Amino acid sequence: MEYILGIFELSAINLVAVLGLSILTGFTGLFSFGHAGFMAIGAYVGGILTKNLHYPFWVAIIAAGLSAGLVSIVIGRLTLKLKGDYFCIATMGFGEAVRLIFSNMNYVNGARGLADIPQFKGASLAIPFVVAVIAIVVAWNLVNSRQGRNMVAVREEELAAQMAGINVLGSKMVAMIASAVLAGVAGALMANFIGFIAPKSFNMTKSTELTIIVIFGGLGSISGSVIGAFLLTALPELLRAFSDWRLVFYGLAVIVIMVGRPQGLLGGSELTPSGIRKMLADRKAKAAFARAKAGGRES
Amino acid sequence: MSVPILELKGLTKRFGGLTAVNDVSFRVEEGGISGLIGPNGAGKTTIFNLITGVYKVSAGDILYKGASIADKEPYKIADLGVTRTFQNIRLFKNLTVLDNVLTASHMSAKYGLAEALFRLPRFRRDEKALREKTMELLSIMGLADRAEVVSNNLPYGLQRRLEITRALALNPKLLLLDEPAAGMNPDETNQLMRLIGEIRGKFKLSVLVIEHHMDLIMGVCEHIHVLNFGCTLADGKPETVANDPKVVDAYLGAEETK
């Protein structure tokens, strides 16, 4: 029972980080391979505040989100003008730099990691779930506001977005900060759930895992990210019976989904009543369009 | 004479050693429809990119309502009321018709980020007003019944129409149309001509249009500016321009051999 609960806790924590990345990658179209860096900042800020300074969990979580957000402002200023692949590489460098800084910081035990961080227990085990629900609501509200639509416009067609009076750099910045705050919060949750953090928990594999989940769930879909986070966090655990082979199966499962459904589970759609209606209507329209084209006439 | 809505003064753009636009000056009167024509590579689209701030001006100035906009960011120029459509349609392809127009009308909503994140009253009020306004615009433009269609699935003519609708959602004062009739048949071109005349009156716009369809240019424009190799060739009323021997040689001459 405790084991199952643990899987759900981890899924909820991963979900918070994935939602953040979903805003940046899925809705704004910026691929980041350094989000584990923001998680690390949150985890260490949360760990130090609860362990060394004895602050309550909530204070640590909020402080973790804010500090990751502050760092993202600096990083955003430096990197958001870069285009596509170059931005990707810059974030990769950022993630590795953060990991190495913590590895060499004596105050947090360097590469040996920070142990004996106060852990959630009893009622406080509900914290990750409460935070996850808040994160879903806030992310949903964001992408369904004018600021969120501006982000999607930037993803779809940057030049046209500018001509529609959208501050492209500003929209990217908002997405970057929102995603960093969520990643930082997830980091603090992780520190207080596991009780131990080390720089190597936030390496590039972690960043890549987050990106895989977002793509697997479908770019531009909050519900896809939620389902993806739960499925892909639980999957390696369910495959534990295969011991050494489990990561191979994990990889295969991702490949199968990507080949069969390149847009991810729910790319661009949402699992809400109106979202499902839209999905069906779109499928019909596409079929009609294909028929019209085949007939050589459009209208 | 009143202040023109747009005035180019000695506008020049160099890309390295190539002068794409060379000392071009003309004006678009408030409420007027002006045409910008010239053979391929004459620098027409470059001028649009300069007006909208996509390219930085090398020399000269661009005045909008008498004030310089040459050094402004593109989105700020759009906020001032100058917007455009593109030669190769640039819609938000994966979004519905409604969302395309809704996105462009974002300046009409005043709520801030915090109000959006927590769905405060102003968010709800503004969003509702925005949707109503968007639907109204869609029905004026005859796209209301397609509101939920993903824009990429629209027929070509309607995609052009949607791009103009999206531009109108910004409440522009000056609309720049870059070859709006490209790829259209004569019937669609006629419809478009009527549409341009209609929206000018309905939305109190001034229009500057780049076009190769001479019947469209001669039909709707009150003033024409002709470019050739980045330089001004002629400027004036359609009849005068059409009879200018230099223009006939450089550009309209091609019509005779057709």
Report the pLDDT value the prediction gives residue A298, as an integer from 0 to 100. 43
Q: State the nearest Cα–Cα gap between A285 and chain B, in angstroms.
A: 7
Q: Give the separation between CA B96 and CA B152, rounded to whole angstroms.
A: 8
- Per-residue pLDDT band for A283 (boundaries 50, 70, 90) equals confident
Residues of A in contact with B102 (CB under 8 A): 149
- From residue A252, how far is each of A216, A258, A259, A263 by CA, in Å? 12, 10, 10, 17
Rounded CA gap, B75 and A167, in Å? 6
CB atoms within 10 A of CB A145: 23
**A58–chain B nearest CA distance, Å:** 19
The answer to whether B53 touches A167, Cβ cutoff 8 Å, is no
pLDDT at B253 exceeding the cut of 90: no
User: Residue A280 falls within a domain, yes or no?
Assistant: no
Q: Is the pLDDT of residue B258 over 50?
A: no
SS3 B230: coil
Tens digit of pLDDT for each residue in B171-227? 999 999 999 988 888 888 888 889 999 999 899 999 999 988 888 888 889 999 999
Res. A248 pLDDT band, cuts 50 70 90:
confident
Strand positions, DSSP E, B179-252: 206-210, 223-228, 231-236
The domain segmentation of chain B, as residue ranges, is 1-81+171-258, 91-170
Confidence label for B7 from pLDDT (cuts 50, 70 and 90): very high
- For the segment B250-254, the average pLDDT, to the nearest whole number, is 61
| Alpha carbons A227 and A244: distance in angstroms, whole number | 26
Closest CB to B153: pick one of A165, A167, A285: A285
DSSP strand pairing (B67-68 vs B223-228):
unpaired
> Across the interface, which of B75, B92, B113 has its CB nearest the CB of A156?
B92
**Pairwise CB contact (< 8 Å): A160 & B156:** no
Tell me which chain B residues have a C-beta less than 8 angstroms from the C-beta of A138: 117-118
Percent of chain A with pLDDT over 70: 97
Whether B94 and A163 lie within 8 Å, measured CB to CB = no
Tokens standing for residue A234:
């639980």
3 state SS of B19? strand
B113 touches chain A (CB under 8 A): yes
**Between A298 and B225, where is the model more confident?**
B225
Average pLDDT over chain B, rounded to an integer: 90
- The residue of A134, A144, A152, A163 whose CB has the most chain B CBs within 10 angstroms, and thus the best one to mutate to test that interface, is A163
Query: A35: which 2 tokens?
Result: 């989000």
Phi, psi of A73 (to 5 degrees): -65, -45
A294/A199: higher pLDDT: A199
* Cβ–Cβ contact B185 with A under 8 A: no
Q: What's the CATH number for B1-81+171-258?
A: 3.40.50.300
More confident residue, A122 or A104: A104
Question: What tens digit of pLDDT does each residue of B68-108 get?
Answer: 999 999 999 999 999 999 999 999 999 999 999 999 998 88
How far off is chain B from A279, nearest CA to CA, in Å? 10
Average pLDDT taken over every residue of chain A: 89
State the residue range of the domain holding A85.
2-203
Reported ipTM: 0.88
Say if residue B256's pLDDT is above 70.
no
* H, E, C per residue of chain A: CHHHHHHHHHHHHHHHHHHHHHHHHHHCCCCCCCHHHHHHHHHHHHHHHHHCCCCCHHHHHHHHHHHHHHHHHHHHHHHCCCCHHHHHHHHHHHHHHHHHHHHCCHHHCHHHCECCCCCCCHHHHHHHHHHHHHHHHHHHHHHCCHHHHHHHHHHHCHHHHHHCCCCHHHHHHHHHHHHHHHHHHHHHHHHHHHCCECHHHHCHHHHHHHHHHHHHHCCCCHHHHHHHHHHHHHHHHHHHHHHHHHHHHHHHHHHHHHHHCCCCCCCCCCCCHHHHHHHHHHHHHHHHHHHHHHCCCCC
Average pLDDT, integer, range A104-130 = 91
A98 in any annotated domain: yes
Eight-class DSSP state of B35: E
pLDDT bin (cut points 50, 70, 90) of residue A3 is confident
Task: Tell me whether residue A12 is in a domain.
Answer: yes
Q: Tell me how many domains chain A contains.
A: 1
Q: Which of A51-60, A278-287, B142-151 has the lowest mean pLDDT?
A: A278-287
Q: Would you state the pLDDT for residue A295?
A: 64
Looking up residue A47, the CATH number of its domain turns out to be 1.10.3470.10
Half-sphere exposure at residue B163, Cβ-oriented, CA atoms within 13 angstroms: 30
> Is any Cβ of chain A less than 8 angstroms from the Cβ of B1?
no
